[in-house]
Structure 1
Amino acid sequence: MKVWDLPVRALHLALIGAVAGAWLTTEKWTHWHDAIGYTALAVVLMRLVWGVAGSAHARFGQFVRGPRETFGYLGALLRGQASRHLGHNPLGGWMVLLLLGCVLAVGGTGWLCTTDRYWGDETMFALHAGLAWTLVALVALHLGGVFAMSLRHRENLVAAMLHGRKREPHEGDVS
């Protein structure tokens, strides 16, 4: 069953490439680092638009849940009873927002470091670096969640993000 459309998948892959590229050009090739960082910002902005105007499973309103449902899902997960979701589960929905927000913060502080006001400002640079490390931690948590849910529900979520399809919902699954 088709879940994630081409724009979601393409933006996801573009963001992976931009974040990895920015990370790899941190110490050297600062011209490339800046350009790749701006690319990451553009990808996030496009994803934000698509999260409002895109297809059903791309929309934030479909997968970002309130605190009650999110903490209920967390409790079920800790008890080994987490239900399968066709799109993002409630924790995954919040992880999407955290990742997008963190990329915006990293990119924004990176841009500020290039302005006359903050050029050479150690505090702004430290904030930029700290946010970049926070992004690394969030990516690790995201990958851990993808791996755990792939095992729990016996479905390859990495492959699903590449081709956009997941198996049909069964009784107890949440769309």
Structure 2
Amino acid sequence: MSAIHDTMVAGGEKSPAAVKVWDPFIRVFHWWLAGLLLLAYATGDEIENVHIAAGYTIAGLLALRIAWGFVGPRHARFSDFVRSPRAVLAYMRDMALLRAPRYLGHNPAGGAMVVVLIVTLIGTCTTGYMMTTGTFWGAKWVEEVHEAFANLTIGLVVVHVLGVLVASFEHRESLVKAMITGRKRPS
């Protein structure tokens, strides 16, 4: 038996091998968003209809995720993972020193990344929509801001993936697997 199965909890019962953390909506949202973002980025200037459809779908997903951040289960709620800048910086310092505490849901850096990614994706979607309107059709500055938001988002995704890898290594658990199964070890 692994150490996790031998752990005792109050009352002499064994703790479960894994607990539900990420609900189905969060998991589907995450992977669909990742795929659609790659699709939109890859088709930007080449296949305009696909790019626009991906963008509108991303905007719809974002609206649903924001609503879910207020009404969804515990670990999906913004109130569960949005922390102060001081807490985020302290966590990142501890993470760099490989002594960051483990969180069942999003850690402070992960929570900050969720918020920043939502903001940059809203900026990308908004400027993308603006380029389709009569008012901003052909406005070079809108296109440049749209591309800047898109490139910033891709850069943040790279940082996000690196953070997931470091946290997975530091806490000896696969956060990718947890985002697929929805389950993590309890402690």
Other-structure match for 2:46: 28
- Give, in whole Å, the separation in 1 of the partners of 2:50 and 2:132: 14
Please tell me whether residue 166 in structure 1 is matched to residue 184 in structure 2: yes
In the alignment, does 2:73 pair up with 1:55? yes
Structure 2: gaps spanning 5 or more residues: 1-18
Question: Could you tell me which residue of structure 1 aligns to residue 149 of structure 2?
Answer: 131
Give the share of equivalent positions with the same residue, in percent.
Answer: 39
Equivalent of 1:117 in 131, 135, 151: 135
Question: Residue 86 of structure 1: which of 76, 85, 104 is its match?
Answer: 104
Distance 1:141 1:27 in 2: 25
Bigger shift: residues 67-76 or 43-52: 67-76
Deviations 1:80-119 (A, max 9, x none): 2101111110010000001111111101000001111111
Look at both structures and tell me which one has the larger radius of gyration over its CA atoms.
2
Aligned-partner Cα distance in 2 for 1:98–1:69: 16
Q: Please report how far the alpha carbon of residue 72 of structure 1 lies from its aligned counterpart in structure 2 after TM superposition.
A: 2.0
Q: Please, which of 144, 162, 175 is the counterpart of residue 157 of structure 1?
A: 175
Give the deviation of 1:23 after TM superposition: 1.0
Does residue 9 of structure 1 match 2:27? yes
- Per-residue deviation, residues 43-96 of structure 1 (Å, max 9, x unmatched): 011000001000000001001111232222122223321011111100100000
Task: Please list, as runs of the form range in 1=range in 2, the aligned pairs for 1:91-106 lying within 5 A after superposition.
Answer: 91-106=109-124
Look up the match of 1:72: 90
Instruction: Kindly report the root-mean-square deviation, in angstroms, between the aligned alpha carbons of the 2 structures.
Output: 0.9
Q: Once the 2 structures are TM-superposed, how far is the Cα of residue 42 of structure 1 from its aligned partner?
A: 0.5
In structure 1, C-alpha distance between the alignment counterparts of 2:47 and 2:85, rounded to whole Å: 42
Q: List alignment gaps of at least 5 residues for structure 1.
A: 170-175
CA distance in 1, matches of 2:94, 2:167: 13
* TM-score normalized with structure 1 length: 0.94
> Quick check: 78-87 or 95-104, which moved more?
78-87
AA matched with 1:37: G
The DSSP-based 3-state class of the residue aligned with 1:160 is helix
